[in-house]
Amino acid sequence: MLILATQNCFHLARRLEKYKHARLLRYACKQFADGERYYRLDFQRQPKSLVLLANITPDPGSLFDLLALARAAQDSGIAIEALCIPYLAYSRQDRQSEKGEAVLARMVAEAINRIPARQRVFVDLHSDAVRAMLAPHRELSCLPWLVHTSMAQAFDLVVAPDAGAAERARSVAGNAPVLIMRKHRPRPNQVRRSATAYPVKGKRVLMVDDMVDTGRTIASAAVLLKKQGARSISVVATHAVFSAPSHKALASAPIWKIIVSDTLAGRAPHGVRVVSITQQLAEALNSERN
């Protein structure tokens, strides 16, 4: 397996290199004096196909990097066997909340869909709306894997911190009951919760979501559940965004432990456990080739 990766996915590409038949294709990337970017694939013998690995982050340059590497492969006559995007930013902008808004998730999806890949692999997409925008693809769910490998202590109850996380909670619950909490956002990056009573007294709670961004969703949920008598609260999430406000929000939250995956590099603060999904990615990409 030959891997072509954007810089924000080098951490995953290097780990994938350790698996049999995986090798990272090098390339040159530089900027001219006027700011234009330049890309050149570095190979002596032209490969027939490759896996293109890239994260789409809030930085618009991440999308440009992906499109440029895809174009370099196309112009070199190299087939893109699989396009793998572990983290897809702008997914929360999947509908108009107010008149005049740009639905940026659709714009990003349309750009990705134009890449002529034979297979597409994503990891724990944010919503059904985003899934519908993307060309036929395979979605790899890492939450069951994270729970299985990290939760040595049993849990009594699985909690979705909002309605959007309900299916994720059910996917890891097994025989445990699932509780779906209510949440209201008066404005972006703010969370309000009503004093709804939940049956958590004396329970070991596992909270599940697709990402930790500002931390306010899980922190507000943990505070409320702890006040209502939860014995312990653990959090498992796939994408470790951890934007600046999360450090303050999580520092005071009554959360026993937080487990995340390594879809994003270098984002998890001290004390957060990071579990690699490299094995799952390798298996998924190998199966796509067979």
In angstroms, rounded to a whole number, what is the distance separating the alpha carbons of residues 216 and 229?
20
Residues 6+ apart with CB under 8 A from 10: 265
* Amino acid (one-letter) located at 281: L
83 φ, ψ to 5°?
-110, 120
Angle CA 182–184–187, to nearest 5: 160
Residues 6+ apart with CB under 8 A from 20: none
In angstroms, rounded to a whole number, what is the distance separating the alpha carbons of residues 7 and 24?
12
3-class SS of residue 194: coil
Sign of the C-alpha dihedral computed for residues 86, 88, 89 and 91 taken in this order: negative
pLDDT of residue 286: 79
pTM: 0.92
Identify any residues that bridge with 260 across adjacent strands, giving them in sequence order: 237, 274
Q: pLDDT tens-digit profile of 22-54?
A: 899 999 999 999 999 999 999 999 999 999 999
88 φ, ψ to 5°?
-120, 100
8 A C-beta contact, residue 46 and residue 83:
no
In angstroms, rounded to a whole number, what is the distance separating the alpha carbons of residues 165 and 168?
5
pLDDT of residue 82: 97
Q: pLDDT tens-digit profile of 276-287?
A: 999 999 988 877
161 φ, ψ to 5°?
-70, -10
pLDDT of residue 189: 52
In angstroms, rounded to a whole number, what is the distance separating the alpha carbons of residues 89 and 111?
13
In angstroms, rounded to a whole number, what is the distance separating the alpha carbons of residues 124 and 266?
19
Spans of the chain, pLDDT less than 70:
20, 152, 184-195, 288-290
8 A C-beta contact, residue 75 and residue 46:
no
How many of the other CB atoms lie within 10 Å of CB of 181?
Answer: 22
| DSSP secondary structure string for all residues of 10-53 | HHHHHHHHTSTT-EEPPEEEEE-TTS-EEEEE--SS--SEEEEE
Q: Quick one: tokens of 283?
A: 């298996």
